[in-house]
Chain A
């Protein structure tokens, strides 16, 4: 139960950073925190007490019949995909932040308000 609560706490901290900080880079870092929290939560979902990692490591496991006591491998594959998506998102956000700095000469989001209405 404790790891799940820690994930939700991390998510809320990230959300707080995105909402209330004014520096562009801090907003990107806050979004990364949100993404870490969700990925961690998803990876923890597959855990079973006292189980092994889902990799066949020796011939005896093959002969004994596998999948006897493995942690669920599906969330691990899904989290890998989600991490890749998060990586490309962060890269795009950072390049947008760089371009914003070149155009507006500041990282402060309260001054980047040319669009009104």
Chain B
């Protein structure tokens, strides 16, 4: 089915990013207006396409420029729908939140919004792209925008974190390009569907494994998998709060996990039965990430740093779930992507609210904020419950699916590990809740005012979505997460569907 509106996913944020510097010279607030309108529009288009997909069940394609089979393809199926939904929801809430959050930076509002729109353009383009080099270009666009955004405040620590992040991230990008060059040398095509058909004919030679290893290293750097996790804590800690929400909730998953899944499952066609080595590798590294991130998070005293280490741990969960390889495991991974994006986004936004109101992020100094900032506190508490896996929030169902997947694949020790670290997550998150938000009755609350209306609305939207995703768990499994998991399981179907129309 032809998707006539698919190019708008790329064109609209790019047009917004180019218009903001021009129009912001007339009136400063134009940049806020354009950014929010653009992201709201993107959200609307995403929901429209998802509803169309759910009702007809047929994925949509689009060939750029009308050049069939030699041009760039755009492809919208269930996996794309899931990724685009989380990107645009968190992006819209981050833009809404930034309208008041940027008051602490005296100048440069238009720079922030230009970079944010470029980041969203890169992520959206990556999600719908059906062409290998096009994916690389969009990965690099969003990565460069994120480096500049991490350094936005230009204090010492932020610039240092941005530099370290940048060197590591760009080396990862160079390794990725190397893998793409090797792949092109062998297959002479860049279209993902055509590539997968060519690769079937080539068999599992050592060259095949070398290319998979190279691409895996490139993606591992981008998503903070062990042993390349060193940049995550500093970068997410130093970025402005809405950008930390975007980075932690969306960026590492889309440019790391989604790109890796799309290439490994749909192009290379790895499956648990034929190539167990790949999946065991994912489980091994995922388990190490899970354990390391969880343990390091426990000992932090800074609010945002704790959340950053928790992100490393949750990425470990997703990798372990992908490595399990059956339907429940992959569905659990997809659901966890959704739940973690919403929850971690809310948590970072509340941390920004707290910092704006009280001026500090040190957990030892924040006391009993529930009395003075009720909206922020309750958003934080509900999001923590979701991340720790408390029913009936979304996080509980995603962890349940992962544990079911582990048990049905007879990996009991993995199920035990997942449950154990779920408890550890609960531990360090409630430590924050108890200490900062609900302290003893006789302690003076820290001086704070509640957040302004727009920031509150952004947090509220995310929390409501978390609750809805938990309550409407069956619907999300049937219409969003389940089809996405099926796309990954039947990896080679992708090629047949894309080229089948011709």
Contact = CB atoms under 8 A, between A and B. Distances in A.
Contacts of A39: 177
B322 interface: no
Majority DSSP secondary structure for residues of A touching B: helix
Nearest to A75: B184
A97 to B, nearest CB: 7
A31 B167 contact: yes
Given A115-B157, A117-B233, A93 B177 contact: no
A89 to B, nearest CB: 5
A100 B163 contact: yes
A114 B163 contact: no
A49 interface: no
A24 B162 CA distance: 13
Contacts of A45: 181, 184-185
B181 A38 contact: yes
A35 B174 contact: yes
A4 B178 CA distance: 12
Interface stretch (B32-40, B143-151, B219-227): B143-151
Interface string B121-161: 00000000000010001001000100110010011110111
Interface in A93-107: 93, 96-97, 99-100, 103-104
Interface in B289-325: 300, 302, 305
A41 B147 contact: no
B160 A100 contact: yes
A88 interface: yes
Nearest to B178: A38
Contacts of B156: 100, 103-104, 114
Given A92-B148, A96-B166, A18 B140 contact: no
A100 B159 contact: yes
Given A24-B163, A96-B159, A85 B140 contact: yes
Contacts of A114: 156-157, 160
Contacts of A85: 137, 140, 144, 173
B171 interface: yes
A44 B490 CA distance: 35
A100 to B, nearest CB: 5
Question: Could you tell me the dominant secondary structure of chain B's interface residues?
Answer: helix
Interface in A39-54: 39, 41-42, 45
A34 B163 contact: no
Contact of B181 (A15, A41, A89): A41
Contact of A117 (B170, B184, B305): B305
Given A18-B167, A100-B163, A11 B178 contact: yes
Contact of B137 (A38, A41, A81): A81
B234 interface: yes
Interface in A20-79: 24, 27, 31, 34-35, 38-39, 41-42, 45, 72, 74-75, 78
Contacts of B140: 85, 89
Contact of B170 (A31, A99, A100): A31
A34 B174 contact: yes
A72 B155 CA distance: 47
Given A92-B144, A100-B159, A100-B163, A117 B300 contact: yes
Contact of A27 (B144, B167, B181): B167
Interface string B103-136: 0000000000000000000000000000001000
Nearest to A89: B170
Given A88-B144, A92-B166, A115-B234, A38 B159 contact: no
A103 B238 CA distance: 16
Nearest to A78: B133
B171 A18 contact: yes
A105 to B, nearest CB: 11
A117 to B, nearest CB: 6
A34 B188 CA distance: 24
A93 B305 contact: no
A115 B161 contact: yes
A72 B184 CA distance: 11
A35 B162 CA distance: 19
B65 to A, nearest CB: 14
A9 interface: no
Lowest 10 CB-CB distances: which A-B pairs, in order? A42-B181, A103-B156, A45-B185, A96-B163, A85-B140, A99-B159, A34-B174, A38-B177, A38-B174, A115-B234
8 contacts: A85-B137, A96-B162, A99-B159, A100-B156, A113-B160, A114-B160, A115-B160, A115-B237
Interface of B: 133, 137, 140, 144, 147-148, 151, 154-157, 159-163, 166-167, 170-171, 173-174, 177-178, 180-181, 184-185, 188, 190, 233-234, 237-238, 300, 302, 305
Interface of A: 11, 15, 18, 24, 27, 31, 34-35, 38-39, 41-42, 45, 72, 74-75, 78, 81-82, 85, 88-89, 92-93, 96-97, 99-100, 103-104, 112-115, 117
Given A35-B174, A93-B167, 13 more contacts: A15-B171, A38-B174, A42-B180, A42-B184, A45-B184, A81-B137, A82-B177, A89-B140, A96-B147, A96-B163, A103-B159, A114-B160, A115-B234
